[in-house]
Structure 1
Amino acid sequence: MINNLLKTAVGRLRIIAFLEGCSYLLLGFTMILKYKFGMPQPNYVVGLAHGILFVLYIVLVLQVSFLQRWNLVKIFWAFIASLVPFGTFYADKTIFR
């Protein structure tokens, strides 16, 4: 199944969207570790991964929107999905399929 998703731009976007959403939720957990328990290292690692995945997500949204000729409303909601917890999971079900 993963090989099939990797063959298309939309498939790659769906994979990165899932990973970006997971990293966003994990970042919330590591913030607790950082500020409540004084453990900054997990937050640094997850924050770095989340930043990289976020940039990849934005690039892939732009690529897919160009290839699929999305309208501005669809592009707007794809971007907003990356800013809301669980947003990329919702976008996968409603926008990317």
Structure 2
Amino acid sequence: MIYLRDPNTIVVPRLPNLEPDRFWMALRFFGYEQSLRDWVSGLQPLDPESPTYAQDLAFWSAVSAKLEWAKYFERDHPMIEGARQALGITEQQLDDMWTWGLS
């Protein structure tokens, strides 16, 4: 599964986008930066013989590129939701972190 949004879907954001420096600052402040990096690192497929290798590689490539090169981060982006779930953060905790990052 690749975290890409359907281009035909109109999404009204709950919270404004975060610039990369604000996104990473919030992750650092709340202690999730390394956990997020570890999650992304763990997505990288290691076995080219795996039947899902190409799909897994595409997924890891999309997620790692988004985190490294994004011009902004959308609170409601599917990748952010996937990371939230993987890190065991509640929606309210993420909203609080996001709001802090906006301040």
- TM-score scaled to structure 1, two decimals? 0.33
**Greater RCO, CA 8 A, separation 6+:** 2
Normalized per residue, which structure has more helix?
Answer: 1
